[in-house]
Amino acid sequence: MKAISDTVCVIRDGQHIGTREAQGMSEDDIITMMVGRELTALYPGEQHTLGEEILRVEHLTAWHPVNRHIKRVNDVSFSLHRGEILGVAGLVGAGRTEAVQCLFGVWPGRWEGSIFIDGKPVEIKNCQQAIAQGIAMVPEDRKKDGIVPVMAVGKNITLAALDQFSGKLSSLDDAAEQHCILQSLQRLKVKTSSPDLAIWPSERRQSAKGDSRPLPVTQPAHPDPR
Any idea where the domains of the chain sit in the sequence? 7-40, 52-133, 147-205
The pLDDT assigned to 53 comes to 95
The pLDDT assigned to 220 comes to 53
109-164 residue pLDDT tens: 999 999 999 999 999 999 889 988 989 888 888 788 888 888 888 888 888 777 77
Q: Is the model's pTM score more than 0.85?
A: no
Q: Are 142 and 220 in contact (CB under 8 A)?
A: no
For the chain, list residues with pLDDT below 70: 41-43, 167-168, 201-224
The pLDDT assigned to 224 comes to 67
The pLDDT assigned to 203 comes to 44
CA 130 to chain centre: 15
The pLDDT assigned to 42 comes to 66
The pLDDT assigned to 8 comes to 92
Length of the chain: 226
The pLDDT assigned to 204 comes to 44
Specify the 3-state DSSP secondary structure of 21: strand
Domain 52-133 has CATH 3.40.50.300: yes
Cα–Cα distance for residue pair 134/175, rounded to 1 Å: 25
